[in-house]
Structure 1
Amino acid sequence: MSPEEFVKNFYLEKQNILYSSFDKLSESVTSIKIKELELNQIQTEKLKEIVSDLLTDTFYTILLGLDGSASIGNTQESFKIYDEENNLISEGGDLEGYAYEYFHGE
Protein backbone atom coordinates (compact mmCIF):
# COMPACT_ATOMS: atom_id res chain seq x y z
CA MET A 1 0.00 0.00 0.00
CA SER A 2 1.31 3.42 -0.89
CA PRO A 3 1.11 6.48 1.38
CA GLU A 4 -1.61 7.87 -0.89
CA GLU A 5 -3.67 4.67 -0.63
CA PHE A 6 -3.25 4.75 3.16
CA VAL A 7 -4.60 8.30 3.32
CA LYS A 8 -7.37 7.55 0.82
CA ASN A 9 -8.56 4.67 3.02
CA PHE A 10 -8.79 7.03 5.99
CA TYR A 11 -10.82 9.41 3.82
CA LEU A 12 -13.14 6.59 2.70
CA GLU A 13 -13.60 5.53 6.32
CA LYS A 14 -14.56 9.11 7.23
CA GLN A 15 -17.12 9.11 4.40
CA ASN A 16 -18.52 5.71 5.50
CA ILE A 17 -18.96 6.91 9.08
CA LEU A 18 -20.68 10.08 7.90
CA TYR A 19 -22.98 8.16 5.56
CA SER A 20 -23.96 5.54 8.15
CA SER A 21 -24.59 8.23 10.77
CA PHE A 22 -27.31 9.80 8.62
CA ASP A 23 -28.61 6.67 6.87
CA LYS A 24 -32.24 6.19 7.92
CA LEU A 25 -31.85 2.39 7.71
CA SER A 26 -28.69 2.26 9.80
CA GLU A 27 -28.86 1.01 13.36
CA SER A 28 -25.58 2.51 14.55
CA VAL A 29 -25.60 4.25 17.90
CA THR A 30 -25.00 7.59 16.20
CA SER A 31 -27.75 7.19 13.59
CA ILE A 32 -30.27 6.17 16.27
CA LYS A 33 -29.43 9.25 18.36
CA ILE A 34 -29.71 11.51 15.31
CA LYS A 35 -33.13 10.02 14.44
CA GLU A 36 -34.28 10.62 18.03
CA LEU A 37 -33.62 14.34 17.56
CA GLU A 38 -36.44 14.46 14.97
CA LEU A 39 -34.73 17.25 13.03
CA ASN A 40 -36.20 18.84 9.93
CA GLN A 41 -34.29 18.65 6.65
CA ILE A 42 -32.45 21.97 7.13
CA GLN A 43 -31.41 21.07 10.67
CA THR A 44 -30.30 17.61 9.54
CA GLU A 45 -28.13 19.08 6.76
CA LYS A 46 -26.57 21.55 9.20
CA LEU A 47 -25.81 18.77 11.69
CA LYS A 48 -24.37 16.68 8.85
CA GLU A 49 -22.02 19.56 7.96
CA ILE A 50 -20.89 19.84 11.57
CA VAL A 51 -20.28 16.10 11.92
CA SER A 52 -18.43 16.05 8.58
CA ASP A 53 -16.18 18.91 9.71
CA LEU A 54 -15.53 17.17 13.04
CA LEU A 55 -14.62 13.90 11.30
CA THR A 56 -12.40 15.75 8.82
CA ASP A 57 -10.54 17.52 11.63
CA THR A 58 -10.17 14.25 13.56
CA PHE A 59 -8.93 12.05 10.70
CA TYR A 60 -6.67 14.81 9.32
CA THR A 61 -5.10 15.41 12.73
CA ILE A 62 -4.51 11.68 13.29
CA LEU A 63 -2.81 11.37 9.90
CA LEU A 64 -0.63 14.41 10.55
CA GLY A 65 0.18 13.05 14.01
CA LEU A 66 1.32 9.75 12.51
CA ASP A 67 3.33 11.68 9.94
CA GLY A 68 5.11 13.76 12.59
CA SER A 69 3.52 17.02 11.40
CA ALA A 70 1.21 17.42 14.42
CA SER A 71 1.11 16.22 17.99
CA ILE A 72 -0.89 13.31 19.31
CA GLY A 73 -1.81 14.33 22.83
CA ASN A 74 1.20 16.22 24.10
CA THR A 75 3.76 14.38 21.99
CA GLN A 76 4.93 15.14 18.50
CA GLU A 77 7.04 12.54 16.79
CA SER A 78 7.20 10.74 13.48
CA PHE A 79 6.04 7.13 13.13
CA LYS A 80 6.97 4.45 10.65
CA ILE A 81 3.91 2.62 9.37
CA TYR A 82 4.12 -0.97 8.13
CA ASP A 83 1.50 -3.30 6.66
CA GLU A 84 0.82 -6.87 7.86
CA GLU A 85 3.63 -8.22 5.72
CA ASN A 86 6.12 -5.75 7.21
CA ASN A 87 6.24 -3.59 4.08
CA LEU A 88 6.95 0.06 4.85
CA ILE A 89 3.98 2.30 4.02
CA SER A 90 5.33 5.54 5.45
CA GLU A 91 8.42 6.59 7.34
CA GLY A 92 7.29 10.08 8.27
CA GLY A 93 6.68 13.06 6.05
CA ASP A 94 4.86 10.99 3.41
CA LEU A 95 1.26 11.56 4.50
CA GLU A 96 0.79 15.29 5.03
CA GLY A 97 0.43 16.30 1.37
CA TYR A 98 -1.99 13.49 0.56
CA ALA A 99 -3.97 14.17 3.74
CA TYR A 100 -4.40 17.81 2.77
CA GLU A 101 -5.38 16.82 -0.76
CA TYR A 102 -8.04 14.33 0.38
CA PHE A 103 -9.45 16.19 3.38
CA HIS A 104 -9.10 19.84 2.36
CA GLY A 105 -8.47 19.85 -1.39
CA GLU A 106 -11.07 20.81 -3.88
Structure 2
Amino acid sequence: MTSEQFVKNFYLEKQNIISLSFDTQSEYRTLVSTKIEELNLNEIETEKLKEIFSHLLDDTFYTILLGLDGSTSIGSTQNTFTIYDEEKNLISEGGDLEGYAYEYFHEK
Protein backbone atom coordinates (compact mmCIF):
# COMPACT_ATOMS: atom_id res chain seq x y z
CA MET A 1 0.00 0.00 0.00
CA THR A 2 1.28 3.45 -0.87
CA SER A 3 0.94 6.62 1.19
CA GLU A 4 -1.75 7.81 -1.20
CA GLN A 5 -3.72 4.55 -0.88
CA PHE A 6 -3.44 4.80 2.92
CA VAL A 7 -4.93 8.31 2.87
CA LYS A 8 -7.55 7.32 0.30
CA ASN A 9 -8.69 4.50 2.59
CA PHE A 10 -9.27 7.04 5.37
CA TYR A 11 -11.30 9.13 2.92
CA LEU A 12 -13.35 6.09 1.89
CA GLU A 13 -13.95 5.30 5.57
CA LYS A 14 -15.22 8.85 6.08
CA GLN A 15 -17.63 8.39 3.17
CA ASN A 16 -18.78 5.06 4.63
CA ILE A 17 -19.43 6.62 8.05
CA ILE A 18 -21.58 9.33 6.49
CA SER A 19 -23.48 6.80 4.41
CA LEU A 20 -24.18 4.57 7.42
CA SER A 21 -25.11 7.54 9.59
CA PHE A 22 -27.93 8.55 7.26
CA ASP A 23 -29.08 5.06 6.24
CA THR A 24 -32.67 4.54 7.32
CA GLN A 25 -33.33 1.44 5.24
CA SER A 26 -30.69 -1.10 6.24
CA GLU A 27 -31.50 -4.00 8.53
CA TYR A 28 -28.22 -3.31 10.38
CA ARG A 29 -28.64 0.39 11.14
CA THR A 30 -26.24 2.27 13.35
CA LEU A 31 -27.17 4.01 16.57
CA VAL A 32 -26.31 7.31 14.88
CA SER A 33 -28.71 6.69 11.99
CA THR A 34 -31.46 5.83 14.47
CA LYS A 35 -30.81 9.01 16.46
CA ILE A 36 -30.82 11.14 13.31
CA GLU A 37 -34.09 9.61 12.19
CA GLU A 38 -35.60 10.40 15.59
CA LEU A 39 -34.94 14.09 14.92
CA ASN A 40 -37.61 14.01 12.18
CA LEU A 41 -35.65 16.41 9.99
CA ASN A 42 -36.96 17.50 6.63
CA GLU A 43 -34.87 16.96 3.50
CA ILE A 44 -33.13 20.36 3.67
CA GLU A 45 -32.28 19.95 7.36
CA THR A 46 -30.99 16.44 6.72
CA GLU A 47 -28.70 17.69 3.95
CA LYS A 48 -27.40 20.47 6.21
CA LEU A 49 -26.67 17.96 8.98
CA LYS A 50 -24.95 15.66 6.49
CA GLU A 51 -22.78 18.59 5.37
CA ILE A 52 -21.87 19.35 9.00
CA PHE A 53 -20.94 15.69 9.58
CA SER A 54 -18.85 15.72 6.41
CA HIS A 55 -16.88 18.81 7.51
CA LEU A 56 -16.43 17.41 11.01
CA LEU A 57 -15.08 14.12 9.67
CA ASP A 58 -12.85 15.93 7.15
CA ASP A 59 -11.27 17.90 9.99
CA THR A 60 -10.99 14.81 12.21
CA PHE A 61 -9.40 12.49 9.66
CA TYR A 62 -7.16 15.25 8.31
CA THR A 63 -5.87 15.99 11.81
CA ILE A 64 -5.28 12.30 12.56
CA LEU A 65 -3.35 11.84 9.31
CA LEU A 66 -1.27 14.96 9.95
CA GLY A 67 -0.64 13.73 13.49
CA LEU A 68 0.64 10.41 12.16
CA ASP A 69 2.75 12.33 9.66
CA GLY A 70 4.34 14.43 12.40
CA SER A 71 2.88 17.67 11.04
CA THR A 72 0.63 18.36 14.04
CA SER A 73 0.07 17.05 17.53
CA ILE A 74 -2.26 14.29 18.61
CA GLY A 75 -3.54 15.47 21.96
CA SER A 76 -0.65 17.40 23.43
CA THR A 77 2.16 15.37 21.85
CA GLN A 78 3.70 15.78 18.42
CA ASN A 79 5.64 12.83 17.05
CA THR A 80 6.40 11.39 13.63
CA PHE A 81 5.27 7.81 13.12
CA THR A 82 6.61 5.24 10.71
CA ILE A 83 3.75 3.21 9.27
CA TYR A 84 4.09 -0.29 7.82
CA ASP A 85 1.48 -2.64 6.36
CA GLU A 86 0.96 -6.25 7.51
CA GLU A 87 3.78 -7.50 5.28
CA LYS A 88 6.14 -4.91 6.80
CA ASN A 89 6.16 -2.78 3.64
CA LEU A 90 6.77 0.88 4.39
CA ILE A 91 3.68 3.08 3.91
CA SER A 92 4.99 6.30 5.44
CA GLU A 93 8.03 7.39 7.39
CA GLY A 94 6.84 10.89 8.12
CA GLY A 95 6.08 13.71 5.76
CA ASP A 96 4.47 11.42 3.17
CA LEU A 97 0.81 11.84 4.15
CA GLU A 98 0.25 15.60 4.44
CA GLY A 99 -0.06 16.38 0.72
CA TYR A 100 -2.40 13.48 0.02
CA ALA A 101 -4.46 14.27 3.13
CA TYR A 102 -4.94 17.85 1.95
CA GLU A 103 -5.90 16.63 -1.52
CA TYR A 104 -8.49 14.12 -0.29
CA PHE A 105 -9.99 16.08 2.61
CA HIS A 106 -9.81 19.68 1.41
CA GLU A 107 -9.78 19.61 -2.38
CA LYS A 108 -12.36 16.87 -3.10
| C-alpha distance in 2 between matches for 1:33 and 1:25 | 14
Task: Give the TM-score, by structure 2 length.
Answer: 0.95
| C-alpha distance in 1 between matches for 2:91 and 2:52 | 31
Q: How far 1:62 sits from its partner (Å)?
A: 0.2
> Corresponding residue for 1:58?
60
> Corresponding residue for 1:25?
25
Q: How far 1:28 sits from its partner (Å)?
A: 0.4
> Corresponding residue for 1:47?
49
Q: How far 1:85 sits from its partner (Å)?
A: 1.0
Structure 1 runs of 4+ aligned residues shifted over 4 Å read: none
**Aligned AA for 2:31?**
V
Residue 19 of structure 1 aligns to a residue in which SS? Answer: helix
| C-alpha distance in 1 between matches for 2:69 and 2:25 | 36
**Stretches of structure 2 lacking an aligned partner (at least 5 in a row):** none
Tell me which of 60, 76, 79 is aligned to 2:78.
Answer: 76
What fraction of aligned residue pairs are identical, expressed as a percent? Answer: 74
- The number of residues matched between the two structures is 106
> Which shifted more, 22-31 or 96-105?
22-31
Q: Per-residue CA shift, 1:32-71, capped at 9, x if unaligned? A: 0000100011111111111111111100000000000010
Q: How far 1:82 sits from its partner (Å)?
A: 0.6
> Corresponding residue for 2:15?
15
| C-alpha distance in 1 between matches for 2:46 and 2:89 | 43
CA RMSD of aligned residues (A): 0.8
| Equivalent residue runs for 1:85-104 within 5 Å | 85-104=87-106
> Corresponding residue for 1:105?
107
| C-alpha distance in 2 between matches for 1:99 and 1:18 | 18
Q: How far 1:25 sits from its partner (Å)?
A: 1.5
**Stretches of structure 1 lacking an aligned partner (at least 5 in a row):** none
